[in-house]
Chain A
Amino acid sequence: MSMDEDTKDGGSRRDFLYLTAAAFGAVGTGSVAWPFIHQMNPAADTKALSTIEVDLAPIEQGQAITVMWQGKPVFIRHRTAKEIEEARTVDVSSLRDSQTDEERVEKPEWLIMVGVCTHLGCIPLGQKTGDVKGDYDGWFCPCHGSHYDSSGRIRKGPAPKNLPVPPYAFVSDTKIKIG
């Protein structure tokens, strides 16, 4: 390295050029790569499918229906007084993912949640009258044996979280909008 003027402070103009070129190269590569990564994220039309309306009137007490929302099943259960009672008398601090039943419902008789096991994504059983409902009178995931209670909270088995509650609102007394 010659003892030029510009090496006095320990770096040459060439070093500076190398560094800026490398920095611009990295930013440039990144900004070209991003569209190719981001294209794999949910597309606009996929995201647009994200609200549905459901009429609750035909669902009798003790019955449940499953609707599709964002490609996932949503469980809608018209709970009986017994089920609500069971869900509310639990000691919340003893739960793996502690949440009160009140936090999980708008109206106590209507339990609305995404029916996808938080373990590895199977659909728990318990929607149909003949289904096994697990040890806590709610849902049972046959894949690896997770038990959910009548509020959809995880009680036993490998799943880490409660069945998630989707964003929804009552647009009238018997109609909800999910999403």
Chain B
Amino acid sequence: MGSGNRQPFDNPVIEWVDSRLPVFTLMNKEYGVFPTPKNFNYFWNFGAIAMVMLILMLVTGITLAMHYAAHTDVAFSSVERIMRDVNFGWLIRYMHMNGASFFFIAVYIHIFRGLYYGSYKQPRELLWMLGVLILLLMMATAFMGYVLPWGQMSFWGATVITNLFSALPVVGPGIVEWLWGGFAVDNPTLNRFFSLHYLLPFVIFAVVFLHVWALHVTGSNNPSGIEPNGPQDTIPFHPYYTMKDTAGLLLFLLIYCIFTFFMPNALGHPDNYIEANPLVTPAHIVPEWYFLPYYAILRAVTFDTNLFLLIGLVCAAYLVAVNLWFTKKPENCPVATTFKIPVLQDIPMKALEPLMAAGAVLFLGIGGMIAFMPDMGMAKMMDAAAPVLVEAKLGGVLAMFGSIAMLFVLPFIDRHPYRSAVFRPWFKVAVLLLTIDFFVLTYVGGKPAEGLYVLVAQAATAYYFAFFLVIIPFLNKFEPRVPLPPSIHQYVLDKKAKKKQKSDDYMNALKPEAAE
């Protein structure tokens, strides 16, 4: 960034500015000649797309705020006025509404790209974690934005989500009143949500800046997951990727426009066109589609976690830990040796393990029975001995926040030396299943929490957590390591050769001589 060894510009005006404040040098270095892996596919478009969506949200949001009034008496009608009377108000609001959805689509695809190609791994851990922070901020922003039009879903969504905090022991109810500024979601709540909804996108902007800064320190990952190690592996960002990004962006915006102009309410809920009524709860409260997976995880915890269930879970976690989390199975109990617990530290793992396994089966069995089938005779008998430690409500909240926390710590869980799923056949299956799992959660999150939907949500939640806590550690240890190509260049050539071979084979098979 320093102006020490600056190349002079030909244009005298640019040169005059740049020699005083080298912004042109900076832009050229970071977005002009910036060496970028030459093998990006279209998944690499979504960062730029998300950036454009953020700017679009800022522009449409600030213009909406010129007409919107944050008071419960008039908020709903001020939005209706935007829709009917303000010049192009309908367009700006629909752009903002659908913009939020498409912002999330872009960011989810962007995150999938990171997972599949291992972009979260060393040295890009912090880059990834800043990304997860952006996701969290986006969620907070979108949640508060959805409250602003003060429709039925606005009001009841806000009520249900703020009430989640009441699950926290001791401080919960105080926090909820503090969030509300009253004794229910009301005018003070709406007012502060507007204030924060205006603020947070700018915070997001600042974090995006750090995210991109970190990116330009490490450079981009690429589909092969192999670091570029020479000029044969890279091309300048401009014009190659400015053009590829623009092409992808235009396609994305085209789909966005189809929604905005022809089906602007397809992704929303009709109840939000009914003004908020604190006395009538809608039959099904559902959040916006992009929150459904987390909502499903929240509601999947329908059971209280009792003492036995917890002991069983700890035993199971212990077995997973000593067998998978440790690179080499410890000789003795690692907890006992660290804390120098007498007797216990001398028991060999060989003897401890079957004990733990028995404990896991026994306690998970009894605890599970009490939690899931409380009306059964056996469960009733044992009930008194197993006090409830984590109520269902709190358990759901912990699971929901835990699901994001998993993403946050992923770089430290996954220690397999290869990044890309292209060279990790087992990881590829696991991560694609996780993607399907995400869609399943989205689906059940939008359904009423009853019957089969609950079971499916529970199974999908279990896979989600198992992916991070069991499968990834398992792959660290056992996934085979096929030899990697020496460079991106070689990887590209190999891929080309394979493709050519395939098409040659095909053509040969078509030739009449070959048939004889």
Residues of A within 8 A of B (CB): 37, 40-43, 46, 50, 66, 68, 70-73, 116, 119-123, 141-145, 158, 160
Contacts and interface: CB of A to CB of B under 8 A. Distances in A.
Given A68-B278, A143-B285, A121 B182 contact: no
B449 to A, nearest CB: 6
B283 A142 contact: yes
A70 B163 contact: no
B179 interface: yes
A144 B283 contact: no
Interface of B: 156, 159-160, 162-164, 177-186, 188, 192, 278-281, 283-285, 299, 302, 391-393, 449-450
A123 B177 contact: no
Given A43-B188, A46-B188, A122 B281 contact: yes
Contacts of B450: 145
Given A40-B178, A40-B179, A43-B188, A119 B156 contact: no
B159 A122 contact: yes
B281 A143 contact: yes
B281 A41 contact: no
Q: Which of A43, A68, A120, A160 has the most CB of B within 10 A?
A: A120
Contact of B183 (A71, A158, A160): A71
A46 B184 CA distance: 11
B182 A46 contact: yes
Given A145-B450, A160-B391, A41 B181 contact: yes
Given A41-B177, A120-B159, A71 B279 contact: no
Given A121-B159, A158-B392, A73 B278 contact: yes
A73 B449 CA distance: 25
A19 B391 CA distance: 43
B181 A42 contact: yes
A122 B182 contact: no
A70 B184 contact: yes
Contacts of B160: 120-122, 143
A128 to B, nearest CB: 11
A160 B393 contact: yes
Contacts of B184: 70-72, 116
A71 B178 contact: no
Given A144-B299, A158-B393, A72 B183 contact: yes
A120 B301 CA distance: 14
B178 A41 contact: yes
A13 B280 CA distance: 66
Contacts of A144: 299, 449
A72 B279 CA distance: 8
Q: Enumerate the 6 nearest inter-chain pairs by beta-carbon distance, A residue then B residue, closest first.
A: A71-B184, A70-B183, A121-B163, A122-B281, A120-B163, A120-B160
Nearest to A159: B393
A41 to B, nearest CB: 5
A142 B302 CA distance: 15
Given A73-B279, A158-B393, A160-B393, A122 B156 contact: yes
A46 B183 CA distance: 8
A119 B159 contact: no
B192 A40 contact: yes
Contacts of A141: 281
Given A71-B184, A122-B159, A158 B302 contact: yes
B175 to A, nearest CB: 10
Given A41-B178, A158-B392, A123 B279 contact: yes
A42 B280 CA distance: 24
B176 to A, nearest CB: 9
A116 B154 CA distance: 17
A128 B285 CA distance: 21
A40 B180 CA distance: 8
A40 B192 CA distance: 8
A142 B393 CA distance: 16
A76 to B, nearest CB: 14
A41 B186 CA distance: 13
Contact of A71 (B186, B280, B283): B186
A141 B284 CA distance: 11
Given A71-B278, A123-B280, A42 B182 contact: yes
A99 B179 CA distance: 30
Given A42-B182, A42-B183, A160-B391, 4 more contacts: A70-B182, A71-B183, A71-B278, A72-B278
Q: Which of B181, B184, B278, B449 has the most CB of A within 10 A?
A: B184
A144 B180 CA distance: 22
A42 B163 CA distance: 16
Given A73-B278, A144-B449, A145-B450, A46 B181 contact: yes
A154 to B, nearest CB: 12
A145 B302 CA distance: 11
B178 A122 contact: no
Given A120-B159, A144-B449, A43 B181 contact: yes
Contacts of B180: 42
